[in-house]
Structure 1
Amino acid sequence: MRLFKALIPATALATLAALPALAQAEGGIVRHGDGKFPISTAVEVPAGATTIYLSGMGAPVQDKTAPPKSLEAYGDTQAQTLASLQRIEGELKKLNLTMSDVVQMHIYMVADPRTKQLDFAGMMKAYTQYFGTEKQPNLPVRSAFAVAQLANPGWLIEIEVTAVRLPKK
């Protein structure tokens, strides 16, 4: 009985602590964060929202004078990430969505053949131009993967996103 009495206040406190998140969830997407790293640790999507899955996108050719499908044609990891995010932003715009509607992101990365290393810092420099800014503070959940290769041998990065369209009121 003592255990039961002790659990009631603990359960009530947990419920009260969750109320702000529940209230936010009624009106839209709730993004949970942990620390200063610019990704959400969890995202809650309310019932009735539409989910949009965008295919993976790499950078378009940046230097048309470079050999096709070469690293020189597409740029380094930072340039490719920025160009990929610009493509994603354009595709979202066609669907009347913005980067603030992105709730999940998968980033596939290849080591730069010149350094034999993933350029995570370069990816983050481009990523943080779109996410976690004063203009666009909404953070998706995100995973970044090291892969052996991508379909285009000039790509160092490919990004796929999931976005959400909230129902109209």
Structure 2
Amino acid sequence: MKKITFAAAALCGAALAAQAQVTVKHIQTEKSPIASGVWAGDTFYLSGQLASPVTPADQAKGTPADYGDTKTQTASIFTKIQAALREQGLDMKDVVKMTVFLVADPKTSKLDFPGLQASYTQFFGTKDQPNKPARSAVQVAALVSPTALAEIEVIAVRAK
């Protein structure tokens, strides 16, 4: 019994030593309170992304920015994710896990999951990019931006 316990402790110690050797690099600026992403070894954790406006605000006319519907916003978010991954030497094929946060569209009071899927299938499971990540999608009451209908975060792994 003691041999098994000692062997298990030795294995745990070796695993902890291996974990301690993982290099961690934060991708951050002084302006932001959070890192835009974090490398832990060959794994990249990209912070949640929101859509860019389709039409910027016009302060002279007093009109707010237009961010579009769920389909438009998720397409914008996936484009931003793709650019952020490319800056790190990665691509959408390297995404292994995705978490999607969705808000009901205030115009319809309904969650537009088909809109999410329509944009998702333009970036994942295509002929050019057949890889599909594991994914969770949850409905939330609100996001940090009152105009946001979706926020998406991903985890990508550098292939060896």
TM-score in same-fold range (> 0.5): yes
Say yes or no: does 1:142 pair with 2:106.
no
* 80, 85, 88: which one aligns with 1:87: 80
- Report the counterpart of residue 51 of structure 2 in structure 1: 59
Q: How does 1:42-81 map to 2 (within 5 A)?
A: 50-65=42-57, 67-68=63-64, 73-81=66-74
RMSD over aligned CA atoms reads 1.6
Larger RCO of the pair (alpha carbons < 8 Å, separation 6+): 1
Say yes or no: does 1:152 pair with 2:131.
no
How far does the alpha carbon of each residue in 1:47-92 deviate from its partner, in whole angstroms, 9 at most, with x for none?
A: xx71100000010111114644x6xx11000000000000000000
Shift of 1:114: 1.1
Find the aligned partners of 1:65 and 1:56 in 2 and give their Cα distance. 23
- Report the counterpart of residue 121 of structure 2 in structure 1: 128
Q: Which runs of 4+ in 1 moved over 4 A?
A: none
Find the aligned partners of 1:119 and 1:164 in 2 and give their Cα distance. 29
* 111, 117, 120: which one aligns with 2:104: 111
Find the aligned partners of 1:121 and 1:166 in 2 and give their Cα distance. 31
Where do 5+ consecutive residues of structure 1 fail to align? Answer: 1-48
Letter in 2 for 1:55: S
Find the aligned partners of 2:149 and 2:113 in 1 and give their Cα distance. 11
Give the TM-score, by structure 2 length. 0.70
Shift of 1:166: 2.2
Where do 5+ consecutive residues of structure 2 fail to align? Answer: 1-40
Give the TM-score, by structure 1 length. 0.66
- Report the counterpart of residue 11 of structure 1 in structure 2: none
Find the aligned partners of 2:112 and 2:159 in 1 and give their Cα distance. 35
- Report the counterpart of residue 45 of structure 1 in structure 2: none
Find the aligned partners of 1:50 and 1:142 in 2 and give their Cα distance. 20
Find the aligned partners of 2:148 and 2:57 in 1 and give their Cα distance. 17
Find the aligned partners of 1:63 and 1:148 in 2 and give their Cα distance. 25
Q: How many residues align?
A: 117
Find the aligned partners of 1:150 and 1:65 in 2 and give their Cα distance. 20
